[in-house]
Amino acid sequence: MQRVLSRAWNVLERWAAPARNRRCLSQRSDAPATTTTVVHPAADDAKELPSPASSNLLYRAPFFGESRSSFESLDHDAVVAALRSYGGLVREGDSRRVLLERLASLAYRRRSECIHGVVVSNAPPKTVVVASRRERLAKKIRKWYWVTRRFMAHDEEDRCRVGDRVTIRVCRPLSRRKRFVVVENFGSRERRLAQTKADEAPAERSPSATRGNASSSASPTI
């Protein structure tokens, strides 16, 4: 019995030694003032994929993430057009003040109401299916795993293509399964490369066209 107790005590000593060493290091006066501590996220918090760079932005909903002063001076028709981009509710008898309140609520960027994902389908008109991947922790086995969820989102401009990285925001129910709206479109890598090639094509053709014009002007007339 005494041997079993001594082994158990040795195990406890080895388990508590690292914590004791860290505590002593933090209490020392000559310890470094700034230390870098890596803290793993809590089990209940899901780690979301980072949003793409803003330099790749192809589309953004009107006044999304801006202050209310930027659209306070809009007239009634302009406010209604901006609300249509968010799938906002517009009634005939609504005043301009009520519409501005709705637009301010939808244009405010709340991290808890925004989801980043990739477009996997755009077959329905003005509707896209967005797949979002998040990392979650299985508490029982203490293992992280990926979870993919799909959301149907409203695309008022109908600009999204398959493979585009987008940001969707929660809105009022627009149909039985559609409760999100596309507020940002960062495009895909293939789409950006195609756009870059299209922009560089005229610049590449211009020297040849210049040489052709020069040769035609230099040729003698008969």
Tens digits of residue pLDDT in 74-120 = 999 999 999 988 988 888 888 989 999 999 999 999 888 999 999 99
According to DSSP, the residues that pair with 133 across neighbouring strands are 148
Give residue 1's pLDDT band: very low, low, confident or very high (50, 70, 90).
low
For residues 203 and 24, the model is more confident at: 203
**CA–CA gap between residue 2 and residue 5 (Å, rounded):** 5
Lowest-confidence region among 17-26, 58-67, 183-192: 17-26
pLDDT the model gives residue 22: 47
pLDDT over 70 at 9, yes or no:
no
Mind listing the pLDDT tens digit for each residue in 37-48? 333 333 343 344
Mind listing the pLDDT tens digit for each residue in 159-191? 899 999 999 999 999 999 999 999 999 988 888
According to DSSP, the residues that pair with 136 across neighbouring strands are 145
Does the structural domain 47-192 have CATH classification 3.90.1570.10?
Answer: no
Task: Please give the C-alpha separations between residue 12 and each of 9, 15, 21, 25, 192, in angstroms, as whole numbers.
Answer: 5, 5, 14, 20, 58
Count Cβ neighbours within 10 Å for each residue of 34-61 and write b for 16 or more, e otherwise: eeeeeeeeeeeeeeeeeebeeeeebbbb
Give residue 202's pLDDT band: very low, low, confident or very high (50, 70, 90).
low
According to DSSP, the residues that pair with 60 across neighbouring strands are 184
Q: What sign has the CA pseudo-torsion 190, 191, 196, 200?
A: positive
For residues 69 and 55, the model is more confident at: 69
pLDDT over 60 at 219, yes or no:
no
Mind listing the pLDDT tens digit for each residue in 126-152? 999 999 999 999 999 999 999 999 999
pLDDT the model gives residue 27: 47
> Which residues does 201 contact at the CB level (< 8 Å), separation at least 6?
none
